[in-house]
Structure 1
Amino acid sequence: MIERTSLLIFFLLVFWSINAQDSEVTNQIYEGNTRIEADEFVEAEMAFRRALSKSPERTEALYNLGNTHFNEQDYEEAKQRYFQTQKFADNSTSKHQAFHNMGNVFMKQKDYAKAVETYKNALRNNPQDEETRYNYALAKELLEKEQQQQDNKEQDQQDEQNQDNQENKDKEKDGDKDQDSRENKEDNESDKGEDEKDKKDEGNQEKDNRSNDGNNQKKNQQPQKPKQTELSPEQVKSLLEAMNNQEKEVQDKVNAEKIKGTPIRGRKDW
């Protein structure tokens, strides 16, 4: 009888202790919520932590502590508390609320891909929640826009890279053209010098030709020696006879003049 009484007292004490502890945790959670309404977030955080020190898996304390961190813009701590809430929650309502608020954290961090996945998990636990559905659609739209902007940025970078490559190629071509132009100019100047030299040589050659032509003309204009004409024997004979006759005539004439000019010697009478 005494043993039964002692055992009953033990269970009553345990039950009372559990109820007392649970009541204390509940009171701490209530105090924390009151502090949140008064925007006393530091005091609210302390109250929720006291509750969790006695009941680490108490989802109400975890969830409300997450909300406190969210209001303080401590998004990493808030995200951790929401994750713990959905982990220890034993009903879809608590899981939905934890995933929904975790999605809000990702939205604040502009991590739209994770926000989309987190809102999906929230909708799996409560497909009819309009606010979650709206947030999911918004996160999806922002994700698509972000991806489009990223694609455009990459395309712009690629276009800029292509433009830089094209400009470098154009500069190389211009450099080659300038080099070719300089080489062509040098070749043209060299050819011009050779042409001028050729023209000068041609002028000298023409001058020499004119000089040679003048010399040849002078040589051609000089009197040529008469060619000797061969006479036939008859012509030689006739010529000799003519010469003899002419010589005789001359001699006769000379003799006649001598006779005519000689004084006649006469006698002188003394």
Structure 2
Amino acid sequence: MKVISLKYCLFIIAAVLAGTSTYAQNGVNKYIRKGNALYEKQQYSDAEANYKKALEQNGQSAISSYNLGNSLYQQKRYDDARAQYANSLKVDGKPDIKSNADYNIGNTYMEAKKWEESIKSYKQALKINPADEDARYNLAYAQTMLKKQQNDGGGNDKNKDKNKDKNKDQKDKNKDQDKNKDQQNKDQNKDNKDNKDNKDKNKDQQNKDKNKDQEEKQKPEPMPSKMNKQEAERLLQALAQEEKKLQDKAKKVKGQPVPVEKDW
């Protein structure tokens, strides 16, 4: 289904608004006609400039706002175009201008894929002009796209929730696995520490035993006795006799008179 494009018919002023001077009217007409000529040549930016000058002459010109909206639409400036169409609706204009403005507002929403807003605008255009087949066609298209969007959105939400639950389960599963892994690592570290402590204790004990054996080996052993009791007594007696001899000898030396020289 292809969307009907912009209603690009360009209006010109056929009558003077109440209270508008002939000079002002001529100025507005001049810029609108020039803008329309440029628009037909697809010089949309230059056409835009002339429609703006027309609005400077008469800011209440529904035709100037509508044609300006068309030039902005052709430049894909859809938000700005919508604002100008809305301005044309605020002015008491002809029904065909109002109908076309609502239709084109629907198109700007269509470009943004805002289906509900575009449906509302097309319905408004059909209220003013029930014979507008383009508006009826675009209305059906927008309704179809809205229904598709709602169906796709609902399915996506369900899938999103399903994926969310699946991700949550996987996350919980991973969390439990990490928790078990941490506990296993803790237990393994504890076992390794206990084994290390036991090994260190055994090593310390072995070192102590080894050092004790080494000390025992290095400890001086008592010299074995070479004399028995009788031999010791004889030795003592001999020593005693020798000491007595020395004492007697000393006495003799001590008591010996000192000789004097002869007196001749």
With structure 2 as the length reference, what TM-score do the two structures score? 0.57
Change (3 A) 1:166 1:24: same
Change (3 A) 1:178 1:65: closer
Matching of residues 118-197 of structure 1 within 5 Å: 118-170=121-173
Q: Does 1:111 align with 2:134?
A: no
- Unmatched runs of 5 consecutive residues or more in structure 1: 1-14, 180-270
Name the residue aligned to 1:97: 100
1:61-92 alpha-carbon deviations (Å, 9 max, x no partner): 11000000001111111010000111113332
Match of 2:77 among 47, 63, 74: 74
Name the residue aligned to 2:55: 52
Change (3 A) 1:177 1:33: same
Whole-angstrom distance in 2 between the partners of 1:20 and 1:172:
82
Whole-angstrom distance in 2 between the partners of 1:54 and 1:172:
72
**Structure with the higher fraction of residues in helix conformation:** 1
- Shift, 1:176, TM fit: 9.4
Larger radius of gyration: 1
Secondary structure in structure 2 of the residue aligned to 1:110: coil
* AA aligned opposite 1:55: N
1:207-235 alpha-carbon deviations (Å, 9 max, x no partner): xxxxxxxxxxxxxxxxxxxxxxxxxxxxx
* AA aligned opposite 1:97: N
1:135-181 alpha-carbon deviations (Å, 9 max, x no partner): 011011111111222112211110001112333455577789999xx
- Shift, 1:131, TM fit: 0.2
Higher RCO structure (Cα 8 Å, ≥6 apart): 2
* AA aligned opposite 1:138: Y
Q: Percent identity?
A: 25
With structure 1 as the length reference, what TM-score do the two structures score? 0.56
Whole-angstrom distance in 2 between the partners of 1:97 and 1:24:
25
* AA aligned opposite 1:26: N
1:81-110 alpha-carbon deviations (Å, 9 max, x no partner): 000111113332221110000111111111
Number of residue pairs the alignment of both structures matches: 167
1:22-70 alpha-carbon deviations (Å, 9 max, x no partner): 1221121011000001111222111111111011111111100000000
* AA aligned opposite 1:32: G
Change (3 A) 1:44 1:27: same
